[in-house]
Structure 1
Amino acid sequence: MMGFTALSGDAVERVIAGQLQSAAAVALLRQAMNVFGLMFLWQVFGHQGSASMLILWSVGLVASMAGGVLLDRRRRTGSGVTAADLRVHGCTGLMHGLVWAACMMMFSSGHSASQLVAHWTLISCIMICGAISYAATPLAATGFLLPCIVGLFFMFDGPEELPLRALATSYALSLLVGCFIYARTFARQHSASVQLEEKSEVVSLLLREYEHGASDWLWQTDPARRLNGVSPRMAEMLGRTPAEVEGTLLVQILAGSAWESGLFPAELHELADHLKRRENFSAIALPVEAQGGVRWWELSASPRYDETGVFLGFRGVGSDITEQRESAERITQLARFDPLTGLPNRAHLREVLDKSMVGMRTGVPGCAFLMIDLDRFKAVNDTLGHQVGDKLLTQVARRLRHICSGSEFCGRIGGDEFAVVIPHVAANRGIDTLAGAIISGLSAPYQVDEHLLYVGASVGSALAPQDGSESEALIRSADLALYQAKSEGGGVHCAYEPQLHAQAEERRQLELALRDALEKDQLHVLFQPVVEAETGTVVGFEALARWTHPEMGPISPAKFVPVAEEARLIGPIGEWVLRTACMEASRWPAPVRIAVNVSAEQLSHPSFVGAVVSALAQSGLEARRLELEVTESVFVNADTGALKILDQLRGLGVQLSLDDFGTGYSSLGYLSRTRFDTIKIDRSFVVGASNNKAESLAIIRAVVTLADSLGMATTAEGVETETELAMVRGLGCRKVQGYYFGRPMPAVEAAALFPADQLRARA
């Protein structure tokens, strides 16, 4: 305000400019008062011999007036205003004050009382005029009034004039304080005006942005709800000119072609209600016919009233939210539909099932849930790649959608699993019919690129409310039924039965117990002898895992091995059996071998070779004395790496045996790709041959001939009688295994079959 501090900023500059403009507005009054004072002094003192002093003082007055004018002009020609301009203006006030202080000193003594009164009257007028002209610039007011106050001491210098001096000084100081008060008030008011102006500019800028922005515009209506003052942006969004839209009912514009029929969307009814009740509304989204199509607009508005409370209409903002709406719909589509097949996803299926379950409770007949799993789909992915698998899934979805063309609601759960919700079904008959159609339709061949593919389907179903009164329970029941269908070989439909839940609970408890079996030393290994068919000499043993639970007792391998495979426990259990068997076999005589069964899962991990090497190294067993038995199931997926791992094991010197030959996916192709040392003939063929079944006899002869031609040995499994032994001997089997020679036995009993001097002491 004084100009001593150099502040920056547009607001500061504008306040300084306001101070200087206020002073400049009354500068002419100050100059006129100076001229009047000059003339008054000549009139009062000019005839008393003071002409020389008056001339000198008059020159000083004119010089100060001219200097002030020059300084003001110089300031005005500069670029912008600063605090320095206030200081320059203060110099003008100081010169003005010094001239009039000199006047009081020069003409204060040697004059009559009437002249003194006239002189004081003139000085008081000059100080009032100066205070008025410098009121907005306190620095100039100070520069003017302080010399005047000093001059008063010369003007009233007599002892008897002391009261007059005090009165005049108080008068001058009051004028100075008044200037400061006015200047402070002026600065505050002008600063507030500047801030208000800046806010107005911001509001104007925002309004212009609304007008010229990409998707927003302003609109307003009159009391009759007709558009007025239509903005170019709004008209552009409608694909019309402002003149075409001006005066049209807002609701008519928004309704478009529906105006004639009266079939308005619910959102338009909501907006019309707000307009009718004259109340605020915000973010109402509604479809509008514009630009040759349907766009989504979002409108907000408030009612307008004048100062007397008369309703003037509405004023608001509009936005085009078509892109946001479409984006939200795409997100909803992704959240509720499978991106690959376009079928409803798991969450969407669950919503439909929940609604069907609610309807069932209100008296509608029960609903059903079907789970579908593709058979042999993994082989397609493994052999032909996921791209072909995805195309196959797309065709499966197309067929399933065609089959479920009625009230059924089909979707994809994930992977190769699909599901169907039947909202209304009274009995299993309709479920059986639909399940049969699904299995038949999905089992037909598929043409994917240049591949002709065959996959089947298994279906598990559950019916509410008897199989589950809640959605989660019904889904779990259908899943159990699907598991049963898969365990029966696939390609069938199984409906849920109560015992399936009991079996599932038993499997779950068995799995939990099996996870603790290794840690709690509940597993043990038994050894079954393998003998020469001709001499009966023991040439090896097969290691067999057994489990004795402290509460459930002995548990059959037929029970716990499938559970171990499903729970991915077969790997650690198999490795433990391998290490244990190798450690026991290292104590037997050198020629005797140990055979260990290996699962397909173990052969799918490259780390299995390292586990075999580690077991051999820790036990000290020679690699040629270890025989690993594999089943034909490991060759179903040729790209699993099983063949490579088997080749690596043979490179270590480990013997390989093909177990259960002829009972599974028998193919002579893999016999030429992998070198086996032994082929084991399943007991079912041994029993059949002992009963003189021609097929079994032919199969054993063929296997023996094939093995001999390939340089492999044959082992007949399950020989329990002397008749069976004689038969397999006659057919040419070299080795025999079965109860006839010994049941699976503990390691101590197995070691007792050899002379004590041939056994090596345990390290």
Structure 2
Amino acid sequence: MSLLHLLRENWSVRWRPRWEAARNAVTAHESIDGPQAAHFRAMQITAVRRLFPLVILGNVVNTVAIAATFWGHIGTLWLALWSAVVVLGLGVAQVWWGTFLRRSAQGRVTASPRAMRTLTVQVAMYAAIWMVVPVTVFPSADHSGEMLLGTVTVGMLCAGGFILSAHVRAACAYVAIMALGSMLALVMSHYATQVALLSLLVVYAGTIMAMVVASARVYMSRLRAEAETERQTQLIDLLLRDFEEHASDWLWETGVHGQLRHVSARQAQALALRPGSLAQVSFLDLLEARLPADLPEALEAHARLKGCMTQWQAFRDLEMPVMVGGEQRWWSLTAKPLVDERGAPAGWRGVGSDITEARRARDELARLANVDALTGLANRYRFGRELSRLNELGEGQAPNCALLFLDLDNFKNINDSLGHAVGDQLLRCVGDRLRGMVRDGTVLARLGGDEFALLLWTHTDPLAVDTLCRHMLEALGEPYQLQDVRVEVRASIGIALAPRDGSDPESLLKCADLALYAAKAGGRNTYRFFDTAMAENARARVRLQHELGVALAKEQFAVHYQPQYHLLTREVIGFEALVRWQHSERGLIGPGEFIPVAEETGQIVPLGTWVLRQACRDAVHWPAHLRVSVNLSAVQFRSSSVVDVVDMALADSGLPPDRLELEVTESALIEDHEGAQATLMALRSRGIRVALDDFGTGYSSLAYLRRFPMDKLKIDGMFVRSLDSDQDAQAVVTAIIRLAKALRLDTTAEGVETKEQMVMLRALGCDDVQGFLISRPMPAGQVMPYLARSADVLTPA
């Protein structure tokens, strides 16, 4: 008993502390690492899991090699089962080990001691499963099999130990089981008498365990060092933040009567004076003598500083402008009163900082937040704040102001054709001209793009505003010399007056916008005052847009057809498809009322598709020599799917392509030349005819006729109706017909209403005509009866 007692005492006194120190060097424990222990355990598991792809690859290779070598020499089912357990076990372990990790409230990954014990048991079980085949197969294997098993086992022993070294318990369990299994295999084989082999195996296993422990010690040391570094970093950041918050450029201190004392060199440097000249100088008087005379904020800051010091109240970050060396600087002053041992006031001690650059940057940011960077005018935000003053007036007070919206008429064309640099220069010039015309009490702003706004708080009489608008249009209409380009631009203005048109910002903005829309609709380069009819028109437009959407969904439209008459053969050669809206309340509505709305909202695309399909379905029942002409809007023509839509309409109806004629306007061609040319060539390659509609009213450029493939020019009815009374109209029509003949194009005159007009067109060489003289547009059901009697109705002149 005495010997046992001696051994226990020796263990407790000498060896147990060493053992615990060695254990703590390779494992995490709350008694050593505190709250960090759970995170260290998680990092140990993560370090092993990170190598799982390599582990799986190595085990798969080793398993396949063993299975391939001993396949057929031992039980096939047993070998296959072992291989599956070995390989799939790793995949299960990778997923299972992930469940050991938890996320703490601070967002750190943690693991419990139980998770580490469970992981150790799993590793031991896996090592035991792995050693099943070497133990059972090695004694009866041939030489090559022995070499394979020996190589694989030693490789697994070494690699597994190093891979698991971050988790020392699991690594040691793995190495021990693998070593014991290898020894058992040697003992059961004919190598049992080779004591040297067993000794070497023991030495290798011991060496690997020693290296595992050393590696684990290094890994834990690194984890603890990183944790300590992070803690130190956080502490340093905290100290630095505290230092930065309380740092100052210079210290200042005064006596009970406000005279400076203990003047530092940095304080004297901030004032551009010698330290000796500041002794016993009143701090308040010193600052007062250096206040900028033209800055009201300076007097307010000095009064606040004087009030705080007089009442012995601490202050912080009091900003004050001072003149130093002829330059205005900004100081930030912070101070608290001093008391003596009896608690009586003893003076002031504080810090001063030169914040000139920060103040300038802040003022610049404030300026940029309210000023348009391009023109230097007020921006949308500043304008909105100024307009919000309407809401600040008390109830019953009638605000008196005028709001003007100004929009440049052809700015987009200038910007696109001459470039954004010229466009920006033009906007600056427009802003300068407007700035030179406004008076005091006017807020001039650029709202964005080419939109400007003026808010007049004075001189808001309608006659005065009318005069101002006329002068602005005249001034803006003067040419601009921009770089090497001479540019002319026009503007439209919408005007709303308060309180006549509204007494709150929202109402005035809406009214001015409606007035601007009316000015643009009235021909541009003009101005309009808001009136109630504009609001009603806007509501009617919105209502029409909604009803148009419903009509599209219910297909409440009909296609009427106007015949086209060939002057030479005196026969009907086709019909133009014209859409009508069968309104549920208003009856039949002409296209002039709803087509513009459909084009603005994009509804023209589905509407045009429906008209095209319906026209093709109707035309397929006409005689085979008759064509149908369908108008394509500019929006519809520029759609990427227009060719597919036409193909589908022809395919669904069965109408031959050569019986379809599509009419496009010049506006559909001018914006995307390449795309328009490709679309026209694709249509004409299918045999579809293309006509240029309303020729003579747009750009009428010969370049379009040369560049774009056409079959026909349609002469606008505006010229045809004046043909027998206006020589200029005759000249235009004559020129168009001659031009078309020179380019081998057909011509169709629209709007023929008298026989005299038809006689003159025939004499001028026009090919086709259409108009009320021939027939008004008719429903599809009347086309065939009309054709039956057309020979009797149309007589030669």
Q: Same fold (TM over 0.5)?
A: yes
Q: Which residue of 2 aligns with 1:348?
A: 382
Q: What is the distance in 2 between the residues matched to 1:284 and 1:751?
A: 93
Is 1:441 the counterpart of 2:441 in the alignment? no
Amino acid at match of 1:476: K
Amino acid at match of 2:380: R
Q: 1:391, CA displacement in angstroms?
A: 1.6
Q: 1:380, CA displacement in angstroms?
A: 0.9
**8 Å CA contact retained: 1:365, 1:424:** no
Counterparts in 2 of 1:509 and 1:310: CA distance versus 1, 3 Å:
same
Counterparts in 2 of 1:711 and 1:285: CA distance versus 1, 3 Å:
same
Q: What is the distance in 2 between the residues matched to 1:322 and 1:614?
A: 71
**8 Å CA contact retained: 1:459, 1:494:** yes
Amino acid at match of 1:465: P
Q: 1:359, CA displacement in angstroms?
A: 7.0
**8 Å CA contact retained: 2:308, 2:314:** yes
Is 1:399 the counterpart of 2:433 in the alignment? yes
Is 1:478 the counterpart of 2:515 in the alignment? no
Is 1:729 the counterpart of 2:787 in the alignment? no
Counterparts in 2 of 1:288 and 1:426: CA distance versus 1, 3 Å:
closer
Is 1:511 the counterpart of 2:572 in the alignment? no
Deviations 1:436-457 (A, max 9, x none): 1111111111122222111101
Counterparts in 2 of 1:387 and 1:492: CA distance versus 1, 3 Å:
same
Amino acid at match of 2:376: G
**8 Å CA contact retained: 1:357, 1:367:** no
Is 1:333 the counterpart of 2:375 in the alignment? no
> Any idea what SS the aligned residue of 2:388 has?
helix
Q: Which among 516, 523, 526 is matched to residue 489 of structure 1?
A: 523
Q: Which among 404, 415, 418 is matched to residue 370 of structure 1?
A: 404
Q: Which has the higher contact order (CA 8 A, sep 6+)?
A: 1
Relative to the length of structure 1, the TM-score reads: 0.67
Q: Which among 681, 686, 694 is matched to residue 660 of structure 1?
A: 694
Q: Which residue of 1 aligns with 2:741?
A: 708
Q: What is the distance in 1 between the residues matched to 2:323 and 2:496?
A: 48
Q: Which residue of 2 aligns with 1:585?
A: 619
Is 1:520 the counterpart of 2:538 in the alignment? no
Deviations 1:166-201 (A, max 9, x none): xxxxxxxxxxxxxxxxxxxxxxxxxxxxxxxx9xx9
Q: Which residue of 2 aligns with 1:222?
A: 255
Q: What is the distance in 2 between the residues matched to 1:404 and 1:374?
A: 18
Q: Which among 248, 257, 271 is matched to residue 281 of structure 2?
A: 248
Deviations 1:7-27 (A, max 9, x none): 99xxxxxxxxxxxxxxxxxxx
Aligned residues with identical type, % of pairs = 42
Within-5 A mapping of 1:447-462: 447-462=481-496
Q: Which residue of 1 aligns with 2:347?
A: 313
Counterparts in 2 of 1:313 and 1:496: CA distance versus 1, 3 Å:
same
Counterparts in 2 of 1:502 and 1:238: CA distance versus 1, 3 Å:
same
**8 Å CA contact retained: 2:563, 2:770:** yes
Within-5 A mapping of 1:184-263: 216-258=249-291
Is 1:740 the counterpart of 2:773 in the alignment? yes
**8 Å CA contact retained: 1:714, 1:734:** yes
Q: What is the distance in 2 between the residues matched to 1:539 and 1:515?
A: 35
Counterparts in 2 of 1:228 and 1:720: CA distance versus 1, 3 Å:
same
Q: Which residue of 1 aligns with 2:108?
A: none
Q: 1:398, CA displacement in angstroms?
A: 1.2
Within-5 A mapping of 1:528-567: 528-567=562-601
Q: 1:426, CA displacement in angstroms?
A: 4.7
Deviations 1:116-140 (A, max 9, x none): xxxxxxxxxxxxxxxxxxxxxxxxx
Is 1:750 the counterpart of 2:794 in the alignment? no
**8 Å CA contact retained: 1:630, 1:658:** yes
Aligned residues: 561
> Any idea what SS the aligned residue of 1:685 has?
helix
Counterparts in 2 of 1:260 and 1:510: CA distance versus 1, 3 Å:
closer
Q: What is the distance in 2 between the residues matched to 1:241 and 1:726?
A: 106
**8 Å CA contact retained: 2:378, 2:445:** yes
Counterparts in 2 of 1:400 and 1:207: CA distance versus 1, 3 Å:
closer
Q: Which residue of 1 aligns with 2:30?
A: none
> Any idea what SS the aligned residue of 2:525 has?
coil
Counterparts in 2 of 1:216 and 1:603: CA distance versus 1, 3 Å:
farther
Gaps of 5+ in 2: 1-16, 26-231, 789-797
Deviations 1:496-541 (A, max 9, x none): 1121111111111111222222112223322222222234433222
**8 Å CA contact retained: 1:224, 1:313:** yes
Q: What is the distance in 1 between the residues matched to 2:610 and 2:330?
A: 67
Q: 1:701, CA displacement in angstroms?
A: 2.2
Is 1:687 the counterpart of 2:717 in the alignment? no
Q: Which residue of 2 aligns with 1:63?
A: none
Q: What is the distance in 2 between the residues matched to 1:526 and 1:221?
A: 97
Deviations 1:715-755 (A, max 9, x none): 12122344443333233221121233332233333356569
Deviations 1:575-616 (A, max 9, x none): 332233233334444432221212222334444334334433
Q: What is the distance in 1 between the residues matched to 2:245 and 2:729?
A: 92
Q: What is the distance in 2 between the residues matched to 1:518 and 1:207?
A: 66
Q: 1:710, CA displacement in angstroms?
A: 1.2
Amino acid at match of 1:224: H
Q: What is the distance in 2 between the residues matched to 1:262 and 1:389?
A: 39
Q: What is the distance in 1 between the residues matched to 2:272 and 2:638?
A: 66
Q: 1:461, CA displacement in angstroms?
A: 1.0
Is 1:502 the counterpart of 2:542 in the alignment? no
Is 1:381 the counterpart of 2:434 in the alignment? no
Q: What is the distance in 2 between the residues matched to 1:318 and 1:556?
A: 79
Q: What is the distance in 2 between the residues matched to 1:595 and 1:485?
A: 35
Q: What is the distance in 2 between the residues matched to 1:683 and 1:261?
A: 71
Counterparts in 2 of 1:572 and 1:253: CA distance versus 1, 3 Å:
farther
Q: Which residue of 1 aligns with 2:310?
A: 276
Q: What is the distance in 2 between the residues matched to 1:260 and 1:429?
A: 43
CA RMSD of superposed structures (Å): 3.5
* Larger deviation, residues 744-753 vs 523-532: 744-753
Counterparts in 2 of 1:497 and 1:262: CA distance versus 1, 3 Å:
closer
Q: Which among 446, 450, 459 is matched to residue 412 of structure 1?
A: 446
Q: What is the distance in 1 between the residues matched to 2:566 and 2:295?
A: 97
> Any idea what SS the aligned residue of 2:554 has?
coil
Q: What is the distance in 1 between the residues matched to 2:689 and 2:589?
A: 30
> Any idea what SS the aligned residue of 1:314 has?
strand
Deviations 1:668-699 (A, max 9, x none): 3322222321111222322222x443222332
> Any idea what SS the aligned residue of 1:343 has?
coil
Counterparts in 2 of 1:219 and 1:634: CA distance versus 1, 3 Å:
same
Is 1:626 the counterpart of 2:690 in the alignment? no
* Larger deviation, residues 579-588 vs 332-341: 579-588
Q: What is the distance in 2 between the residues matched to 1:261 and 1:569?
A: 61
Q: 1:209, CA displacement in angstroms?
A: 5.6
Amino acid at match of 2:455: V
Counterparts in 2 of 1:613 and 1:289: CA distance versus 1, 3 Å:
farther
Deviations 1:131-180 (A, max 9, x none): xxxxxxxxxxxxxxxxxxxxxxxxxxxxxxxxxxxxxxxxxxxxxxxxxx
Q: What is the distance in 2 between the residues matched to 1:580 and 1:379?
A: 37
> Any idea what SS the aligned residue of 1:324 has?
helix
Gaps of 5+ in 1: 9-197, 756-763
The structure that has the greater radius of gyration is 1
Q: What is the distance in 1 between the residues matched to 2:277 and 2:655?
A: 99
Q: Which among 645, 649, 668 is matched to residue 611 of structure 1?
A: 645
Q: 1:431, CA displacement in angstroms?
A: 0.6
Counterparts in 2 of 1:208 and 1:396: CA distance versus 1, 3 Å:
closer
> Any idea what SS the aligned residue of 1:323 has?
helix
**8 Å CA contact retained: 1:365, 1:425:** no
> Any idea what SS the aligned residue of 1:524 has?
strand
Q: What is the distance in 2 between the residues matched to 1:626 and 1:432?
A: 53
Is 1:390 the counterpart of 2:424 in the alignment? yes
